[in-house]
Amino acid sequence: MITVTIAGEPFDVPAGTTLQQLDDRHRTALVFGCRAAQCGACVVRILSGAAHLSPPEEDELVVLDVLGVGGDHRLACQCTVFGDISLEVAE
């Protein structure tokens, strides 16, 4: 099991879990809109463990660029978790 900490609240999940699956199983602070890397409603800031996430694909990178965020930001709808991470919902 790995630990995903969202807005200070830890959740233990198996490696390979998507953030969408985590949110579907538990009430989290994540907010989803389209769930398809198009709307940007699920932008999160990765506080630690970014290397433990699936790499961003082109669709996600385009949306992050349009939103003017990058670096430590990701779209939660596109993330699969393979190790411990900590994140917060971006404003």
| Structural domains in the chain, sorted by start | 2-89 (3.10.20.30)
- What pLDDT was estimated at residue 37? 92
CA–CA distance, 65 with 18 (Å, rounded to integer): 22
Single-letter residue type at 24:
D
φ/ψ of 8, rounded to 5, equals 85, -5
Quick check: 91 pLDDT over 90? Answer: no
Quick check: 90 pLDDT over 90? Answer: no
- What pLDDT was estimated at residue 70? 80
Q: Per-residue pLDDT tens for 27-85? A: 899 999 999 999 999 999 999 999 999 999 999 999 999 999 988 999 999 999 999 99
